Amino acid sequence: MKMQPREIIDTCSTHYQTWKNEALKAENKEEMDKFMKKAFFWLELQNNLLILWTIESTMGNDPSVKDKVEKAQINLNKKITDYASDVLNDLKDS
């Protein structure tokens, strides 16, 4: 299922705001850095998903473009998996 731009923005913005607020409440620099890294992940993800959606919507019939978009989506999925793994490790450590 592909997300529409409004869904991408809503989801990523919500998570960005959550982590940004945690960073602002952090008691030390290490915590702040950790939370800001998560916040920036969501900004980057939003940007990348919107770019891919736009490319796919405007040039998605071109086989070479489809192939490149697919490879980019695989790369994003790996980043999301790595992020989820980091969050799980943080939960185990706390």
> 64-74, pLDDT tens digit by residue?
999 999 999 99
How many angstroms separate the CA atoms of 27 and 29, rounded? 7
- If one counts every other C-beta atom within 10 angstroms of the C-beta of residue 26, the result is 15
pTM: 0.88
Residues 77-88: tens digit of each pLDDT? 999 999 999 999
Name the amino acid, one letter, at 6.
R
Residues 5-61: tens digit of each pLDDT? 999 999 999 999 999 999 999 999 999 999 999 999 999 999 999 999 999 999 978
Confidence grade of residue 1 (pLDDT, cut at 50, 70, 90): low
